[in-house]
Amino acid sequence: MNHDFLDLSALSKESARIIIDEAHARKAARHGFAKAQVDADAPLAGHMLAMIFDMPSTRTRLSFDLAMRQLGGQTMMINQSESQLGRGESIADTARVISRFSDVVMIRTGSHKNIEDFSTHASVPVINGLTSFSHPCQIMADVQTFEEHKGPVKGKKIAWFGDGNNVAVSFIHAAVLFDFHLVLAVPEAFMVPEHVLAWARAQGGQIDITQDASAAADGASALVTDCWVSMADDPETSAARMAAFAAYRVTSDLMQKGDDPIFMHCLPAYRGKEVSEDVIDGVNSVIFDEAENRLHAQKAILTYCLGKSHGA
């Protein structure tokens, strides 16, 4: 059975674990097996992934392109400016057309409604490569990275610092799915949407909120942050955000509050702003493992969406 991958909140706990276990297995296979064995494992041979980008991308583009190729399939990239979508064609018509030429679609866009509308009218699985609301692909790679370094994530404490943005939203979804304790150290003015917190509470998620960065870090197995300023922010907005988040910078003093924690960041990062240079380049930083794991997590997501997971 084919599946969309729009938000982690739409997954069952069983499906989420299948994807993570698949990601672990595929990374181990790629790193440990002979090349002939890896090349023989091509469950998506003959399949086409369409990748639609409304905004710049490094890790999402590289990881999905390589993931599909290593699974035996092919990719085609579509930029909004290079398609009729950029000239006013409706999302509904675009979804219907692209479905005729592909087996699965990944979209990196702004408005979350864009991807919901695309999914409604597409006849193939649709993957959320990022929207302004959530970033589920990133968090699957983050859970994989955490488990590589700290063991099973269930019952562990993860602390998030700074902006209650799309990555923070997907971390809340993940905390429910994987049963870990998430503490959000976020200024009130930049808190995640209340309906997301209400959903997590209704699901029994262990989500705490504080404006005390030190309390959030206490006993945590991972400290996580993201950049404070987005590409769309103007200089005045950027200055206000920098001032609001200054107390939430991840520093070596904050890391010492944790339980030998790892440091994670989805990148791009700005040293000296959301994280100090000694932390992001220190021995507990796993940011490049995290970046690499986007590849293995994307493989697991693609096989899940097309009904080819080992655990499905």
Per-residue pLDDT tens for 267-281? Answer: 999 999 999 999 999
Q: Is residue 1 included in any domain, yes or no?
A: no
Q: Is residue 103 included in any domain, yes or no?
A: yes
The reply to whether 294 belongs to the active site is yes
Write the pLDDT tens digit of every residue in 61-110.
999 999 999 999 999 999 866 665 556 789 999 999 999 999 999 999 99
Q: What is the chain's mean pLDDT, rounded?
A: 93
Residues 109 and 84 in one domain: yes
Q: Is residue 311 included in any domain, yes or no?
A: no
E strand spans, 41-195: 48-53, 74-79, 104-108, 126-130, 157-161, 181-185
- What does the pLDDT read at residue 162? 97
The residue among 140 and 311 whose pLDDT is bigger is 140
Q: Which of these is catalytic: 226, 227, 249, 305?
A: 226
Which residue, among 7, 9, 8, 5, has the nearest Cα to 67 in the 3D structure? 5
Residues 74 and 27 in one domain: yes
Is residue 176 pLDDT above 80, yes or no?
A: yes
Q: Is residue 80 included in any domain, yes or no?
A: yes
Residues 65 and 178 in one domain: no
Residues 104 and 178 in one domain: no
Write the pLDDT tens digit of every residue in 178-193.
999 999 999 999 999 9
Residues 169 and 281 in one domain: yes
Q: Which of these is catalytic: 3, 59, 112, 135?
A: 135
CATH of residue 82's domain is: 3.40.50.1370
Q: Which of these is catalytic: 4, 103, 112, 138?
A: 138
Helix (H) or strand (E) holding 169: helix 166-178
Residues 227 and 245 in one domain: yes
Q: Is residue 312 included in any domain, yes or no?
A: no
Write the pLDDT tens digit of every residue in 12-45.
999 999 999 999 999 998 886 655 455 558 999 9
Q: Is residue 217 included in any domain, yes or no?
A: yes
- What does the pLDDT read at residue 180? 98
Number of domains in the chain: 2
Residues 207 and 238 in one domain: yes
The reply to whether 233 belongs to the active site is no
> d(Cα 19, Cα 24) in Å, to the nearest integer?
9
- What does the pLDDT read at residue 211? 96
Q: Is residue 122 included in any domain, yes or no?
A: yes
Residues 262 and 277 in one domain: yes
Q: Which of these is catalytic: 26, 47, 108, 265?
A: 108
Q: Which of these is catalytic: 294, 296, 298, 305?
A: 294
Residues 99 and 242 in one domain: no
Residues 216 and 285 in one domain: yes
Residues 130 and 148 in one domain: no
Domain extent for 230:
138-290
Residues 189 and 116 in one domain: no
The reply to whether 266 belongs to the active site is yes
Q: Is residue 102 included in any domain, yes or no?
A: yes
pTM of the model: 0.95
Write the pLDDT tens digit of every residue in 117-134.
999 999 999 999 999 999
- Residue 279 — left, alpha, or beta (φ > 0 → left; ψ -120 to 50 → alpha)? alpha
The reply to whether 108 belongs to the active site is yes
Q: Which of these is catalytic: 144, 181, 249, 266?
A: 266
Tokens of 287: 């940011």
**Which residues lie closer than 8 Å to 59 by C-beta, 6 or more apart?**
266, 267, 291, 294
